[in-house]
Structure 1
Amino acid sequence: MQESAINDVEVEILLNDLLELFGYDFTNYSKASIKRRINRLFTLDKFPSFAEFRYHLKTDSKYVKRFVEQITVNVTEMFRDPLFYQALREDVLPQLGTYPFIRIWVAGCSTGEEAYSIAIVLKELNLYDKSLVYATDINTEVLDKAGKGIFPLSQMKQYSENYSLSGGKHDFSSYYSVNYNSARFDENLKSKMIFSTHNLVSDHSFNQFQLILCRNVLIYFDKYLQAKVFGLFDESLENLGFLALGTKETLRFSSIASNFKQLNSQKIWRKV
């Protein structure tokens, strides 16, 4: 009979195994959130005991991949928080338009909806051809989906509404073609995108950017890990570059807060 739940001590054991054996560091993620996701997976895969669960994780490389995919959070949508995208369109990207080349990092991109949203705004501002959008995530499965640019057709109504509210200028359906129950976004939207694995916890800075977006990722990290990631972003952002966070995230109490000035109420900061 399956145990009812994985307890706090067992969660720590699993996370330490994952770090020591495979290099994935989730030890400073929000404890309540990651415990909930681990228990969901434990129940879903019907392991008879914690010992069996742990043994499978330590010895089956395919299961390690599944474990990482299941405990990372992948909830996103195109033009999520339309007022944020309106601020990007009106206040941020026009200023970056004066640069000869624009490098943008979408950190924790999940299945890519935010990267495609950025690409569409860049297109409409005639900035896409001189831009490069790096979209990264720790989860290889969602990156594969992002690279295909295919999303459920059922989501397009909501995405279209978000797009219009964000200041979109065209018919949203002009950016994709319909194939049965799927919407495939135009290949030219991917021409300036690079999808790649990157671990915000353990990997280093890999370029200098004028805009970094990391929205609704840091809420799953504890204070120590948030500080570490903020340091990475500070190192990766050029002077006068912009950092965009999620609605429940802030730079205010971080060690790098004095390096930034909040641009508006949409959680966008500029490095000064």
Structure 2
Amino acid sequence: MVYESVARKIWEFKSTLDYVDDWPLMSSPIPVLAIWTAYIVFVLKAGPEYMKSRPAYGLHTVLKLYNLFQVIFSLVQFYLGLELLRPTGYLDITCNEDPATKKKIATFIYIYFLAKLSELADTILFVLRKKQNQVTFLHVYHHSLTLLAVWLTLKFEPVHNTIFLATINSFVHVIMYAYYGLSAFPSLTKYLWWKKYITAMQVIQFVFVIIHAVRNYIYSDCMPSYVLFFTITVNEALFIYLFGEFFVRSYLRKDNKNTKTN
């Protein structure tokens, strides 16, 4: 009966929490899928074709404002996440969610979803600046998966288990967007030697998320669904591989090559 109820909700696109359906972009998957499709078409086909015969846009002011916005937005998410985690001790999860707590959790996940939506602009800015080499499989897959996975989580399983992932990710994004914001100032470029450590932080983040998910899956009385657990662990493991391979290729091999050259 439980599985039939869940299947019916998914088929009918009814949220686990009824009020979530009233929030913008949440009543049906069509709007978010349309946005994602437009994103894929633009960054992989239409955008590069449009820019082929045009000079790259500078967008210096836009980059400064955009990254400042993302730093502030990520700080807000990090603070809200800590507030939700604090009653349980940051690492554990709560099973007995009263209606008020459930709404706070759902609201937090919705804010996180809006953040993932806004972060699609990362790739669009790459295209407009003719930095198509940065529009990699890793980049596009990461942005696509997080957007769609967070939408599905909010729609069908807005539970406390996901707060740790979103909170630690928001912290990493504070550092990452601060770096990109500072890099928009040419005079500060020589001080930005720590880019590779952001990638290292991302890999460490994925490891922590897997450990947290497995720990609570084994020891918690309110385990997440198999689908949510599988999505988190498998994709975080894939991210460890992809980001780790990028780190080795971009920094370790380059450092070794420079050492041999010198």
Q: Which has the higher contact order (CA 8 A, sep 6+)?
A: 2
- TM range, smaller chain: under 0.3
Higher strand share: 1
Q: What TM-score, normalized by structure 2, do the two folds share? A: 0.23
